[in-house]
Structure formats: structure tokens, C-alpha cells
Structure 1
Amino acid sequence: MCGRFASFTQTQDLADQLAIAEIAEDTRLLPPSWNVAPTDPVRIVVERAARDSTEVTRSMRLARWGLVPSWAKDPSVGARMINARSESLLDKPAFAKPFAARRCLVLADGYYEWRKLTLPDAGSTGSRKVPKQAYWIHPAGPGVAAFAGLYEFWRNPAASETDPDRWLISTTVVTRPASDSMAPIHDRMPLVLPRGAWDAWLDPAVRDASNLLQVDAPRLATLPVGDAVGAVQNDGPGLIEEDPEPRDPEPVLV
């Protein structure tokens, strides 16, 4: 599960890292966020040929987080499709075609996950809610965390041909079973692609990218953080600061 992440690196810095040729104007205007939530606009990288052209260009554009299939009646279904399990991509009609033809990179600086902790003692009183510790998980070295993603186009049937918002671009983050180092926190994690896999994942000429679903992720670091990230209205760099009094008594090894 990947339900929250952060994306605050400057757009031009990301473009330089990924050798991006074109940046959509609305992408440049997207403010940084330390608490990206489902249905928020996010930055993605795609490789496509322009209309009436065969030349493929790498570009950065905005997409709504939560994939909306082209056949959906309305975009609300996207809220349930923020993640796509790597093991079943070909079994899900909403994901199979984008996996073959519309792969992208979802750009992040890192993501959040919550580790379930031990319940209070059976004899204690009060809430029986399972306590959790939030973690900020990010590349151990410099550079972007490039999530493997899929994207789709949805046409609003109620919009006119001249309506600039008649097309919605949406995206989903591909997830995989957690690595040994991340498993103590959660049993799943986003598929973070190493730099050497970016070109093949984006290449529209590669029709079967199944081998990339098994690549080793870049080394990730973990940091316990406070509860504030759990509320979507909270934002700012303070969300990725270390929790001075974490609930989690066990260190997570990376």
C-alpha cells in the first residue's frame, strides 16, 4: 500500500535528473507538498509521440492520483485505484492495457507508511485501537524516488469539444511485496525503480515490461515521524522531521 508521499523537489531539478525535454506549464505551477494524498495532482514523466508525429518525447505533466479507466462512467472510481499490485497487473482490465502502452514514473522524494504495533496489555483500560508508528521512507542517497506508475486518459462525456478540461489524465503507483528491509514496517511497498530501469520502463516500444517488476529497489532509509502526516490538511517540511518520542520501541534495520 502506498497512500501518502511527498514531492517537494523543484521541477527543473527533476527535469535535469531525468533528461526531460518538455514540461507542461501547469506542472511548473504545482506547489511542493509534503503530504500528497489520493486524488491530488502529481508530477509524472511519460514518453509519447506528439499527434501527427512519430518522434517520441520525454515530458513531465500532471496527473490525478488514482487511475480512472477510459470506460469509467465518472472519475470517482479513481479513488479506489491509487495502487496497482505488480503480481496481478495483467489480470485487471483497468491496468493491463496501460501496463503495455502507458507506463510512467511518478515523481516523489519519499513516501510514508505506518507500522502496526503491539496492542496494549489485555488488562489495561481505554481504547483498544491498534497503535501505529508513522515512518518517512526515502532514498538513502541523493536523487528522486521514481515510482513505477501507469497512466490513463478519461474523456468527460458531458464536456464539449472546446472544453480544455474534457480530458483527465490519471495515474496509479505500482506496488510490490516489501523487501526484507521494509517488511518490518509493512508487507507492501511502492515499486521504486533504480535509475538504470527508467528508460526501459518509459519506452513505449517495450510492450512487455514484466522483467522490470522484479528489479532491486535503490537503497531506502527510514525515519520515524509524528502523527501529523495522518491528516491530509497538514503539510510542510516538519512532517518529515524525526519523531522525538516514537511509539515504536524496535529499530528498523535498512
Structure 2
Amino acid sequence: MCGRIELTLTEGMQDTLRDLFQIDPSWPTQPEISPTQQAHFLTHGDTWTLQSGRWGLIPPGLELPAAKKYATFNARAETLDRSPSFKAAFKSGGRCVLPLSAFFEWPKKNKVRIARPDDKPLLVAGLWSAQPPGEGKLLSCTVITRPPTDDLAGVHDRMPALLLTRDLDAWLNAPAPEAKAVALGSWRPGLVTVTPTS
């Protein structure tokens, strides 16, 4: 599970995002984002586009009141291709990338912050949707999760599907089986640090 994320970009993180995506990453600081709040995500067509939407995907055919009945802020990578809530976005151009400075977990009820120690942002596989189609559409997104790498196994039994930059294109554009494999296997142990928050 991933239930709290952070978007507090250092100058180094901004430089990385600017170089990777050709965007202006000078966004408002969001020290702790919870499900149903607004989260930033990046989509790719001819160019990269930064968007902001409700953290909690609104599946096709549902409007917000109905979607609120479901916990759609996380999507398991293992079942993306068959989940009623997520398969349409996964298979039909709804993949995205969420840039984060960190995410939070509560092992043994003690809150920890998980981030890269090298002043680089985390890039997380995600899905997005615009519902209902047409004017007045509401944008929404979800964070893909996967089993933890060995170094995070003691923190939680799930983690965000973090992406190495070399795998961004495959996540966004590859056929579903390859994209699913990237979400499950792109990240490797030893790239983040776990720091108690108090």
C-alpha cells in the first residue's frame, strides 16, 4: 500500500525533472498528500504534459459520488490487466508517471519517510483517467504498487512501483505484458533510504 506521498522538490530534483521531461517543475510544495487530494502526474504524447488530478482513480462509467465507494488510490501491478477498476486505463492510453520527493509508511506504527539519498526524485508508475468524457471532466490518478524490494520488506508488504528512467518508455508505451513486467521489476534494492520522521 502507498497511502501518503510527498512533493517537496529540491533544486536538484527540479533540474532532473526539467532535463528528463522538458517541463517547468516549479510547483507548489505538498509536504504530505493523502488519497482524494490533488496529485501531479505526467503523461506523454508528442511532448510531456504535467497534469493534476484527484488521487483515487475514477474508472470509466463512474462519476465521483459512485467512485468514492471504492479505494482506488492504489492499483496492484499483478492484476492491472484484469481489474475492473484499472484495466481500461492500463490497456488504453491511461498510463502515467507520478514524480515524488518521498513516500511514507508506518512499520510498527512508527512513521518513516522513504526517499532517494542522491537528491533525485522518485518516479512512480501510475494510471490516470478523465471522467466523465467531454466538458467538465474530472482528472484522477492512482499509484501502482508491487511487492517490496528486499531492503523495504521490513517496512511494508507493498511499495510503489518505482521506475528507473530507462524503463519510462516501456511503462508508458509497451504492450500490456511488458509494461506490467516493468512495473513489477524496474526498481532494485539499495536506491532509497528509510528515515524515521520523529
Query: TM-score, normalised to structure 1's length?
Result: 0.68
* Gap runs ≥5 in structure 1: 49-55, 117-131, 226-242, 244-254
Q: Does 1:46 align with 2:43?
A: yes
3-state SS, counterpart of residue 93 of structure 1: coil
In the other structure, the counterpart of 2:34 is: 37
Maintained 8 Å contact 1:68/1:75: no
In the other structure, the counterpart of 1:183 is: 153
Structure 2: distance between partners of 1:145 and 1:13: 13
Maintained 8 Å contact 1:85/1:176: yes
* Gap runs ≥5 in structure 2: none
In the other structure, the counterpart of 1:111 is: 103
Percent of aligned pairs with the same amino acid: 30
Q: Does 1:220 align with 2:188?
A: no
For 1:50-83, what per-residue CA distance to the aligned partner results, in whole angstroms no more than 9, with x for missing partners?
xxxxxx2211111211000121133552561000
Q: Does 1:133 align with 2:110?
A: yes
Q: Does 1:82 align with 2:73?
A: yes
- Report the alpha carbon displacement of residue 12 of structure 1 after superposing the two structures with TM: 5.6
Regions of 4+ moved over 6 Å: none
Which letter maps to 2:47?
T
Maintained 8 Å contact 2:167/2:186: no
In the other structure, the counterpart of 2:175 is: 207
Question: Aligned in 2, Cα 1:147/1:76: closer, same or farther, shift over 3 Å?
Answer: farther
3-state SS, counterpart of residue 154 of structure 2: coil
Query: TM-score, normalised to structure 2's length?
Result: 0.86
Matched pairs, number = 190
Larger CA Rg, structure 1 vs 2: 1
Maintained 8 Å contact 2:171/2:180: no
3-state SS, counterpart of residue 142 of structure 1: coil
For 1:190-229, what per-residue CA distance to the aligned partner results, in whole angstroms no more than 9, with x for missing partners?
01101111122223xx23212212324251100011xxxx
Structure 1: distance between partners of 2:126 and 2:9: 19
